């Protein structure tokens, strides 16, 4: 495992704010490099903890990139500053979304993937707020552009969202339906969602609503896995299913 120092990548700067992203941890493949997946942590966490878990998975052909979110005031915590991919005040498909923060994080993730070799398959995954950012990135890929209208630059082959939700869920269908190309990309992008039925932080209903919003918007290659007795965390069974799904979807 290695890391790079904090940096602001191109695309991390938007018209209003500049976001300082933290340290990025990289887990290099133990076998042939066939895929690269950026994995995003949850609120208040960092890339290090997830990099250690991902390094232990039996996926020798995947390179994992685990960035750390910028530290910013977060409304749901009463304005307390912590590592967050975007600002959030409530979990609601109709709630106000921090599109500027979402775009900056989605662009930072895409920039990390944009320098990977052309024959390597690219994916994005995350937990909780990281899952929300991964799902937002999926909608940007399908739409072909970020929320601010800038073009989305990379070709995604897989999305994993664990214990998360879909920001801007009520607008996704409108973004996709207006374009044949967007509909084609949405239909072809594999997405795996996993959620604990006893999650008290991001209740399971948000995972279900995200699944239905994506399905209505034309994302056809969707899997939703509920986990009995599981709260806001991952369990070995869930990570085993993530491994099997990535092996299949990425052809590893």
Residue positions annotated with a catalytic role = 128, 199, 232
Q: At residue 147, what are phi and psi to the nearest 5 degrees?
A: -60, -30
CA 195 vs CA 99, 227, 235: distances in Å = 24, 6, 11
3-state SS of 28-88 is CCCCCCCEEEEEECCCCCCHHHHHHHHHCCCCCCEEEEECCCCEEEEHHHCCEEEECCCCC
Query: How far apart are the C-alpha atoms of 31 and 140, rounded to whole Å?
Result: 31
Whether the Cβ atoms of residue 140 and residue 42 lie closer than 8 Å to each other: no
Task: With beta carbons less than 8 A apart as the criterion, state whether 160 and 153 touch.
Answer: no
Burial class (CB in 10 A: 0-12, 13-18, 19+), 214: buried
113 and 38 in contact (C-beta within 8 Å)? yes
Strands laid side by side in the 121-127 sheet: 2-4, 24-27, 62-66, 35-40, 121-127, 156-162, 191-196, 222-227
């Amino acid at each position: 495992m290695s890391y790079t120092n904090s940096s602001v990548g191109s695309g991390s700067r938007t018209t209003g704010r500049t976001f300082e992203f933290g340290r990025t941890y990289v887990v290099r493949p133990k076998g042939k490099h066939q895929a690269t997946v950026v994995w995003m942590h949850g609120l208040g966490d960092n890339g290090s903890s997830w990099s250690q878990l991902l390094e232990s998975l039996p996926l020798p052909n995947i390179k994992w990139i685990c960035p750390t979110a910028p530290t910013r005031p977060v409304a749901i915590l009463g304005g307390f500053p912590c590592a967050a991919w975007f600002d959030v005040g409530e979990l609601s498909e109709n709630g106000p979304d921090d599109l500027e923060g979402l775009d900056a994080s989605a662009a930072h993730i895409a920039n990390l993937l944009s320098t990977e070799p052309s024959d390597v398959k690219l994916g994005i995954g995350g937990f909780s707020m990281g899952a929300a950012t991964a799902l937002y990135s999926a909608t940007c890929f399908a739409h072909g552009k970020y929320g601010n209208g800038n073009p989305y630059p990379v070709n995604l082959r897989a999305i994993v969202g664990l214990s998360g939700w879909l920001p801007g869920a009520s607008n996704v269908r409108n973004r996709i339906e207006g374009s044949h190309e967007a509909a084609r990309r949405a239909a072809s992008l594999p997405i795996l969602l996993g959620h604990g039925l006893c999650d008290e932080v991001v209740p399971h209903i948000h995972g279900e609503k995200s699944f239905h919003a994506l399905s209505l918007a034309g994302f056809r290659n969707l899997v939703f896995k509920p986990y009995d007795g599981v709260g806001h965390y991952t369990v070995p069974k869930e990570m085993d299913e993530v491994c099997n799904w990535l092996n299949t979807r990425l052809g590893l």
